[in-house]
Structure 1
Amino acid sequence: MKYSGIGGQAVIEGVMMKNGDEYATAVRKPDGTIEVKKDTYVGMGERVKLFSLPFIRGIFSFVDSMVLGMRALTFSASFFEDDEEASEPSGFEKLLERLFGEKMEKVLMSVVMAFSVVMAILIFMVFPMFLANIFQHFIKSQTVMAVLEGVIRIGIFIAYIGLVSRMEDIRRTFMYHGAEHKCINCLEHGLPLTVDNVRNSSKEHKRCGTSFLLIVMIISILFFMVVRVDTLPLRILSRILLIPVIAGVSYEFLRLAGRSDSRLVDLLSRPGMWMQGMTTKEPDDDMIQVGIASVEAVFDWKAFLNRNFPERKA
């Protein structure tokens, strides 16, 4: 395997791929054609040198991925809006337009992202602590309590993924997620980017965001086994304040995993790869074509193969 440097995300009926500062979102429109939008995004780590340092860059890389993901998601959703609703803005939309004008979309995006982060912290970090706290009268060991809290956290995460995957739109997004992974795996294993080669490639990849989230939860167990506080308010505060630290450590592991063929790293990556069995599904050929279109808009895969796999002709 050769590291390509490209990464991506599934969106509504499409795939976003990023290479350096360039990214492209390819969407299968309702009429069956593929629309590709190419743009640039300079990450926070490039704009501020401090943000690119190890164990710090993971935090800002996560913020970058959220911003970029929202942009790509907004673009893909624009093809599937209800015409009647789009032609007649609601009273709330008119109020927002008066208040924020042309900045309305950015303001809404910021609010949605902030709300999503807060809800994720409450559901996946704070709520498991409260559930585990029920057993503190029976379990005196702080180590066991930290492990129990982590198991509950992972259980909630798995249940959430299992629940949302039952929705038809989410299931199709997971199929595009599979197409994204397959395209990257196809290239990084030295195969020309064709529908047949992509179809036969793996839908699991070590740099996946699903793996990142699971790694965060596993590493949080280790942190909370060491960081011990007595009162409930301080425990809540510790769960919130340690999130950037845990995210930074998790990002460094994921970064290493994406560039390494070490058996130990592969073994440690297994849990995240297993979780991808829930968040990636086998795509059809139409979805694979969308993934290929997104890659080709930002990445010269033929030059990559000729440079890294000279024995194979792209």
Structure 2
Amino acid sequence: MKYSGIGGQAVIEGIMMQNGNDYAIAVRKPDGEIEVKKDTYESVTKKVKCLGMPFIRGIFSFVDSMVVGIRALTWSCSFFEDDEEAEAGKIEKWMERLFGEKLEGILTTFVMIVSFVMAVGIFMLLPLLIAGVCRRFIHSGTGMAVLEGVIRIIIFIAYIKLVSRMKDIKRTFMYHGSEHKCINCIEHGLELTVENVRASSKEHKRCGTSFIMFVMIISILFFMVIRTDVIWLRMLSRIILIPVIAGVSYELLRFAGRHDSRAVNILSRPGMWMQGLTTTEPDDSMIEVAIAAVEAVFDWRAYLNENFPGWQENKALEEERGTVSHDHGAAVPAGE
């Protein structure tokens, strides 16, 4: 495996792929056609150099990924609105008059804040309160930290299991699998075809699910050391330490994604196991969408030429043996 620098996420009936400042969203529209939109987003860590320092860049990179992710999700949803010609409601009209062109940015910020608050409440504070019930029976600070961490993981698994029952989420998890399989295909030196992508792994070390798993494990280690008997101080510590835990977790994820060794693979294994909940094997039509998103922002042929010399000769040998099939269907770029 050789690091490519590309990453992405699944959206509604599609994939977003990002390479540096460039990102592309490919969506399978209701009529079966693939439409691709390409755009740019400059990370705040590049605009403000000090924010790009190790252990600081993690929290800001997470914010960047949320901004791009919400933009991609909003665009993909626009193809599947129930009634596109329905008249806007009074509140929507009022907000459009009040904020004008800034409305989309304001709504994005609002969604991010609400999502963050809910995540902190469900995955940081709730486990603390549940574990607190057992404090009278467990007098070890280490034991309480481990119990809280285990409860946090159980809540996360239960949450994923619950949302995965929804039809749209099931398909999103399939697109998530196609995203990983595309990146794995390229980073293991294979031509980007439906057949090669289908044969690649649906787990990847740089996945956001792995990041969440790192956060949960690192939080256990932090809270083993940082202890207090005052409940409101314990709750405050869970909130204040989020940027620190996220920063450390990001560095571990970044290191794991750029290296391939036995030790790194062991470090990544819990996150890879957890990806079994958030990724599902895609069908070929989903793989085609993922390939379209990759090709809009990444020259995978140049990457293979640089990192895997001779890949074309291997392809020629496979073609002689009749093991390589035709390329995927073309995508239609979206209008500006």
Per the TM alignment, residue 90 of structure 1 is displaced from its structure 2 partner at its CA by 1.3
Corresponding residue for residue 9 of structure 2? 9
CA deviation profile, 1:173-206 (whole Å, cap 9, x unmatched): 0000000000000000000000000000000000
Q: Please state if 1:158 is matched with 2:183.
A: no
Q: Which residue identity is paired with 1:289?
A: E
* Distance in 1 separating the partners of 2:57 and 2:196: 34
Gaps of 5+ in 1: none
* Distance in 2 separating the partners of 1:77 and 1:25: 12
CA deviation profile, 1:93-140 (whole Å, cap 9, x unmatched): 112112212211211111111000000000000010000000111111
* Distance in 2 separating the partners of 1:63 and 1:115: 13
* Distance in 2 separating the partners of 1:198 and 1:82: 33
Gaps of 5+ in 2: 316-336
Per the TM alignment, residue 309 of structure 1 is displaced from its structure 2 partner at its CA by 0.5
Count of matched residue pairs: 313
* Distance in 2 separating the partners of 1:37 and 1:19: 14
CA deviation profile, 1:214-264 (whole Å, cap 9, x unmatched): 110010000000011120110010000000000000000000100111101
* Distance in 1 separating the partners of 2:137 and 2:263: 37
Question: What SS does structure 1 have at the residue aligned with 2:9?
Answer: strand
* Distance in 1 separating the partners of 2:227 and 2:60: 27
* Distance in 1 separating the partners of 2:2 and 2:146: 36
Question: What SS does structure 2 have at the residue aligned with 1:87?
Answer: coil
Corresponding residue for residue 26 of structure 2? 26
Per the TM alignment, residue 87 of structure 1 is displaced from its structure 2 partner at its CA by 2.8
Corresponding residue for residue 137 of structure 1? 136
* Distance in 1 separating the partners of 2:101 and 2:38: 22
Q: Which residue identity is paired with 1:79?
A: F
TM (norm. structure 1) is: 0.98
Corresponding residue for residue 177 of structure 1? 176
Corresponding residue for residue 87 of structure 1? 86
* Distance in 1 separating the partners of 2:10 and 2:181: 12
* Distance in 2 separating the partners of 1:253 and 1:52: 15
Corresponding residue for residue 60 of structure 1? 60
TM (norm. structure 2) is: 0.92
Question: What SS does structure 2 have at the residue aligned with 1:82?
Answer: coil
* Distance in 1 separating the partners of 2:124 and 2:17: 30
CA deviation profile, 1:60-106 (whole Å, cap 9, x unmatched): 0000000000010011001011225x431112211211221221121
Q: Percent identity?
A: 71
Query: What's the Cα RMSD here?
Result: 0.9
CA deviation profile, 1:246-293 (whole Å, cap 9, x unmatched): 000000000010011110110111110011011000000000000000
* Distance in 2 separating the partners of 1:134 and 1:267: 34
Instruction: Give 1:1-314 correspondences, 5 Å limit.
Output: 1-83=1-83, 86-313=85-312
Question: What SS does structure 1 have at the residue aligned with 2:37?
Answer: strand
* Distance in 2 separating the partners of 1:158 and 1:87: 38
Structure 1 stretches of at least 4 aligned residues deviating more than 4 Å after TM superposition: none
* Distance in 1 separating the partners of 2:154 and 2:40: 38
Per the TM alignment, residue 53 of structure 1 is displaced from its structure 2 partner at its CA by 0.3
Q: Which residue identity is paired with 1:251?
A: Y
* Distance in 2 separating the partners of 1:31 and 1:64: 32
* Distance in 2 separating the partners of 1:98 and 1:187: 47
